[in-house]
Amino acid sequence: MKRIFSAILSCALCVPLFLPPARAASDPVVRVGLAYGASAQEASRLEAADGAGWTVGEMRGTSFVSRETLSCAVLTVEPDGTGLRLVDADAGRTVYETDADELALSALGRLTLFGQNRYEGDFVCRNTDGRVTVINYIGLEDYIKGVVPYEMTASWPREALKAQAVCVRSYADGQMGKHESQGFDLCASTHCETYRGTGRATANSDAAVEETKGEYLWYNGKKVVGYYFSSDGGATEDAANVWGGSLPYLTGVPDPYENTAEALNGTWSVALTAAQAAEKLRAAGHTIGTVASIQITGRTAMGNVAELTVTDTAGTKVKLTRAACRSVFGLNSIRYSVSGGTAAAAPAASNVVYVIGADGVKRQVALSGCSMLTSAGLKPVTTAAQTTDTSAAGDSFTFTGTGWGHSVGMSQYGAKAMAEQGFPYDRILQYYFTGIEVR
Ligand SMILES: [Zn+2]
Task: Give the Å distance between the CA of 328 and the centre of ligand 1.
Answer: 21
CA of 362 to the centre of ligand 1 (A): 48
Pick the closest to residue 334 from 245, 228, 237 (CA basis). 237
Considering the domain boundaries, does residue 2 fall inside one? no
Domain count within the chain = 4
Does any domain span residue 31? Answer: yes
Centre a 10 Å sphere on the Cβ of residue 130 and count the other Cβ atoms it contains: 11
Cα(45) to centroid(ligand 1), Å = 23
Is 5 contained in some domain?
A: no
Q: Across 8-17, 227-236, 369-378, which has the greatest mean pLDDT? A: 227-236
Inter-CA distances, 98 with 81, 84, 101, Å:
10, 6, 8
* 393 alpha carbon – ligand 1 mean position (Å): 39
Tell me, in angstroms, the distance from the centre of ligand 1 to residue 172's CA.
10
Cα(8) to ligand 1 centroid in Å equals 40
49 assigned to some structural domain: yes
| Whether residue 117 is found in the same domain as residue 169 | no
- If phi over 0 gives left and psi between -120 and 50 gives alpha, with beta otherwise, what is residue 14? beta
For Cα atoms 143, 148, 151, give the angle at the middle one, nearest 5 degrees.
Answer: 120
Within this chain, do residues 197 and 323 fall inside the same structural domain, yes or no? Answer: no
Ligand 1 centroid to residue 184 C-alpha, Å: 10
User: Which one-letter amino acid corresponds to residue 336?
Assistant: Y
Whole-number Å distance, alpha carbon 288 to ligand 1 midpoint, is 33
335 and 290, same structural domain?
Answer: yes
Residues 102 and 58 in one domain: yes
Please check whether residue 419 is in contact with residue 155, taking contact to mean a CB–CB distance below 8 angstroms: no
User: What's residue 50's pLDDT?
Assistant: 86
Q: Mean per-residue pLDDT for 306-315?
A: 95
* Angle, CA of 301, 307 and 309, to the nearest 5°: 150
Centre of ligand 1 to C-alpha 310, Å, is 32
pLDDT for 27: 87
Cβ contact 270:337 at 8 Å: no
Q: Is residue 23 part of a domain?
A: yes
Do the beta carbons of residue 120 and residue 142 sit within 8 Å?
yes
Q: Residue 258 Cα, ligand 1 centroid: separation in angstroms?
A: 28
The answer to whether the CB of 339 falls within 8 A of the CB of 366 is: no
Ligand 1 centroid distance, CA of 188 (Å): 7
Query: What distance in angstroms lies between residue 294's CA and the mean position of ligand 1's atoms?
Result: 33
172 in any annotated domain = yes
Sign of the torsion formed by the C-alpha atoms of 144, 146, 151 and 157: positive
* Phi, psi of 184, deg, nearest 5: -150, 180
pLDDT digits (tens, 9 = 90+) for 352-400: 443 434 444 444 444 333 333 333 333 333 333 333 334 445 589 999 9
Ligand 1 centroid, distance to 344 Cα (angstroms): 41
pLDDT at 142 over 50: yes
The whole-number average pLDDT for the span 119-147 is 97
Q: How far is the CA of 196 from the centre of ligand 1 (A)?
A: 14
Q: Is residue 63 a part of any domain in this protein?
A: yes
DSSP calls for 55-98: EEEEEETTEEEEEEEE--SEEEEEEETTEEEEEETTTTEEEEEE
Q: What is the reported pLDDT for 394?
A: 56
CA–CA distance, 392 with 56 (Å, rounded to integer): 63
- Find the 63 Cα to ligand 1 centroid distance in Å: 23
**pLDDT at position 36 over 80:** yes
**Distance between Cα 413 and ligand 1 center (Å):** 24
What's the rounded Cα separation, in Å, for the pair 183 and 168? 21
Residue ending a domain, among 93, 125, 143, is 143
Residues 42 and 76 both lie in one domain: yes
Same domain, 56 and 136: yes
d(CA 246, CA 61): 35
For the cut 80, the answer to whether the pLDDT of residue 321 exceeds it is yes
Phi and psi based region of residue 174 (left: phi greater than 0; alpha: psi -120 to 50; beta: remaining): alpha
Residues facing residue 10 across a β-bridge: 70
Share of the chain above pLDDT 90, in %: 79
> Measured in angstroms, how far is the CA atom of residue 194 from the centroid of ligand 1?
9
pLDDT number for residue 24: 52
For residue 64, the model assigns a pLDDT of 94
Task: Work out the percent of the chain whose per-residue pLDDT is above 70.
Answer: 82
Cα of 181 to ligand 1 centre, how many Å? 12
Shared domain for 107 and 167, answered yes or no, is: no
Report how far residue 119's alpha carbon sits from residue 103's, in angstroms, rounded to the nearest whole number: 18
Taking the centre of ligand 1 as the mean of its atom positions, its distance from the CA of residue 39, in whole angstroms, is 13
Cα 244 to ligand 1 centre (Å) = 20
148 CA distance to ligand 1 middle (Å): 16
Centre of ligand 1 from the C-alpha of residue 357, in Å = 52
- The answer to whether residue 101 is domain-embedded is yes
Ligand 1 centroid to Cα of residue 179, in Å, is 7
Statement to judge: residues 17 and 110 lie in one domain? yes
Alpha carbon distance 252, 345 (integer Å): 28
Q: How far is the CA of 234 from the centre of ligand 1 (A)?
A: 28
249 and 318 assigned to the same domain: no
C-alpha–C-alpha distance, residues 96 and 70, integer Å:
9
Looking at the fold, whether 139 and 15 belong to one and the same domain comes out as yes
Q: What pLDDT score does 26 carry? A: 72
Q: Is the pLDDT of residue 125 over 90?
A: yes
Please check the confidence at residue 308 and state whether its pLDDT lies above 80. yes
Q: How far apart are CA 302 and CA 234, in angstroms?
A: 9
Q: How far apart are CA 25 and CA 74, in angstroms?
A: 30
Do 30 and 122 lie in a common domain? yes
pTM assigned to the model = 0.81
Out of 143, 170, 191, a domain closes at 143
Residue 333 neighbours by CB under 8 Å, 6+ apart: 231, 232, 233, 268, 304, 326, 401, 402, 403, 404, 405, 407
3-class DSSP state for residue 21? Answer: coil
Between 5-9, 289-293, 434-438, the lowest mean confidence (pLDDT) is in 5-9
- Tens digits of residue pLDDT in 399-424: 999 999 999 999 999 999 999 999 99
pLDDT tens, residue by residue, 156-207 = 999 999 999 999 999 999 999 999 999 999 999 999 999 999 999 999 999 9
111 shares a domain with 67: yes
How far, in Å, is the centroid of ligand 1 from the Cα of 341? 38
Rg (C-alpha) for the chain, rounded Å, is 27
- Mean pLDDT of all residues in the chain? 86
Above 80 in pLDDT, residue 347?
Answer: no
Domain of residue 361 covers 351-387
Domain boundary among 112, 143, 174: 143
Span 262-279, mean pLDDT? Answer: 96
pLDDT beyond 70 at 346: no
How far, in Å, is the centroid of ligand 1 from the Cα of 338? 32
